[in-house]
Structure 1
Amino acid sequence: MELPEAKQKFIESWGKLGSEWGINRTMAQVHALLLLSPEALTTEDIMLELNISRGNANMNLRDLMDWGLIDKQLKPGERKEYFFADKDTWNIARQVAKERKRRELDPVIKVLNELSTIKGDDKDPAYKTFKKSVSDINKLAGNVNKTLEMMLKAEEGWFWKSIFKLFK
């Protein structure tokens, strides 16, 4: 397989993976293109390479910046904006985890904490089942949250050593 074909295959695969992260396919493809590019690219470069509209490119570049996965730079004497991605996979994984936590886990934990304060009759089977289910899910969510917090603060080597110790 030649480089252009391999690059295209990676971009397509990263696009599919992106939907598993909770981001749209084109956004992940833009990210993949920037990951593979040795130099920062302009919006026009991205549009041409991925065959997408300016609006689509701009929207996805803005979203990638919101996720903290890419940055924008200006080059002296040029009016165009250039975009580049952090190529450190550990940083990417932590940033995705941070955003997913903020967008998905934190709101669920907030609701579960509210629901755990419900008052009721301890003899009522429906109340007992509700209370236990909410409590168990809240406990699990809390453990997931602690693990993510540990990941977000940790250095890569330390984190993986700690995780692998759990499975020995």
Structure 2
Amino acid sequence: MNYKETKEEFIQMWGRFGSNWGIPAAMAEIHAFLLSTESPVSTDEIMEELKISRSNANLNIRALMDWRLIYKKRIQGERKEYFVAEKDIWEVAIRIIKERRRKEVDPVINELNRLASFEANTFEEKNFKSLLLDTHDLALKMNSIGDMVEKVEKLKFVKWIMKGI
């Protein structure tokens, strides 16, 4: 397989995995395309490469910018907007963890806390409340792992992981 075929396959693979993780395939494919491209790319180039509509491209570019995974890059003398991806894959992972926690984990923790606030009287109610509190506690512990990953330096984290192997 040559470079072009490998790059195309990487973009498609990233799109499939994105779908598995609840991210639109087009968003993941745009991210993969920008990750694997060294020079800034315009919306038109993204549309042409990935065979997607302007509205699809614009919507997903904005989402990637909100996640801080891509940035606008100004090119002197050009009126078009150009985009580049964060290339440090560790930083990409940290930003994805932060965004997923903000959108998915934090609301679950808040909702479990709210649900567990009812007054339990019967055996069944107490068991159910215990389930809610245990699930809330687990979610908090999982969230603290995310905190740890976000705060630790890449090298320290890798050393910490390797000690456990």
TM-score range, shorter chain: over 0.9
* Counterparts of residues 82-101 of structure 1 (less than 5 Å): 82-101=82-101
Residue in 1 that maps onto 2:160: 162
Deviation at 1:164, TM superposition (A): 4.3
Name the CA distance, whole Å, in 2 between partners of 1:90 and 1:159. 11
Name the CA distance, whole Å, in 2 between partners of 1:115 and 1:161. 39
Give the counterpart letter for 2:143 in structure 1. N
Residue in 1 that maps onto 2:126: 128
* Counterparts of residues 4-153 of structure 1 (less than 5 Å): 4-121=4-121, 124-153=122-151
Deviation at 1:161, TM superposition (A): 2.8
Runs of 4+ in 1 over 4 A off after TM superposition: none
Give the counterpart letter for 1:43 in structure 2. T
Name the CA distance, whole Å, in 1 between partners of 2:38 and 2:4. 14
Using a 3 Å threshold, how does the CA distance of structure 1 residues 107 and 87 change in structure 2: closer, same or farther?
A: same
Gaps of 5+ in 1: none
Q: Contact conserved, 1:69 with 1:86, CA < 8 A, in 2? A: yes
Gaps of 5+ in 2: none
Using a 3 Å threshold, how does the CA distance of structure 1 residues 164 and 117 change in structure 2: closer, same or farther?
A: farther
Name the CA distance, whole Å, in 1 between partners of 2:137 and 2:22. 24
- Please provide the CA RMSD for this pair: 1.3
Deviation at 1:160, TM superposition (A): 2.8
Name the CA distance, whole Å, in 1 between partners of 2:161 and 2:113. 27
Q: Contact conserved, 1:90 with 1:156, CA < 8 A, in 2? A: yes
SS of alignment partner, residue 126 of structure 1: helix
Name the CA distance, whole Å, in 1 between partners of 2:21 and 2:70. 16
Name the CA distance, whole Å, in 1 between partners of 2:129 and 2:58. 46
Name the CA distance, whole Å, in 2 between partners of 1:115 and 1:54. 42
Give the counterpart letter for 2:104 in structure 1. E
TM-score (normalizing by structure 1): 0.93
Name the CA distance, whole Å, in 2 between partners of 1:112 and 1:163. 30
User: How many positions carry a matched residue from both structures?
Assistant: 165
Name the CA distance, whole Å, in 2 between partners of 1:42 and 1:48. 10
Name the CA distance, whole Å, in 1 between partners of 2:161 and 2:138. 17
